């Protein structure tokens, strides 16, 4: 039986505790996770690797999650992007969905997060 390569995810969140927790959870689901503390740092990582999906927080200093997704998609127009938000207004959610992003509200259940990530990764299979 051939071993499968774990799917690679890029996680973007400015809060260290959230990054660590989400990285641990996603790795426990069998994903390889690279984490970035900002949209700017994520762009550097994105150029250096190939990812099956991106998970980004919406509200961050500097480049927010929508801006990061837009910049990432300039280099890979089909990479699935999951936007995590706990405080998004209707206009931000509408803009995210119009851009083809999956919006997930915090606090997110672990089973809900796993399902959303699995679906996103299947899009790149």
Whether 114 maps to a domain, the answer reads: yes
83 pairs with which residues across the strands?
Answer: 56, 103
Structural domain boundaries, residue 81 = 8-120
Neighbours of 118 (CB within 10 A): 13
Counting Cα atoms < 13 Å in the Cβ hemisphere of 94 gives 3
Stated pTM of the model: 0.92
- pLDDT at 91 (0 to 100): 79
For the stretch 55-73, pLDDT in tens is 999 989 999 999 999 999 9
pLDDT, tens digit, for every residue of 78-120? 999 999 988 766 777 788 888 888 988 888 888 999 999 999 9
Give the domain CATH number at 35: 3.40.50.2300
Task: Please report whether residue 2 resides in a domain.
Answer: no
In a domain? residue 100: yes
């Amino acid at each position: 039986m051939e071993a499968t390569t774990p799917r690679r995810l890029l996680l973007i969140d400015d809060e260290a505790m959230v990054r660590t927790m989400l990285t641990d959870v996603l790795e426990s689901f069998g994903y390889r996770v690279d984490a970035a503390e900002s949209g700017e740092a994520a762009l550097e990582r994105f150029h250096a690797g190939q990812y099956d999906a991106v998970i980004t927080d919406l509200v961050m200093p500097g480049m927010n999650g929508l801006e990061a997704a837009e910049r990432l998609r300039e280099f890979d127009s089909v990479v699935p992007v999951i936007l995590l938000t706990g405080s998004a207004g209707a206009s931000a959610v509408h803009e995210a969905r119009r851009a083809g992003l999956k919006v997930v509200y915090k606090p997110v259940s672990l089973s809900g997060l796993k399902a959303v990530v699995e679906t996103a990764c299947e899009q790149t299979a």
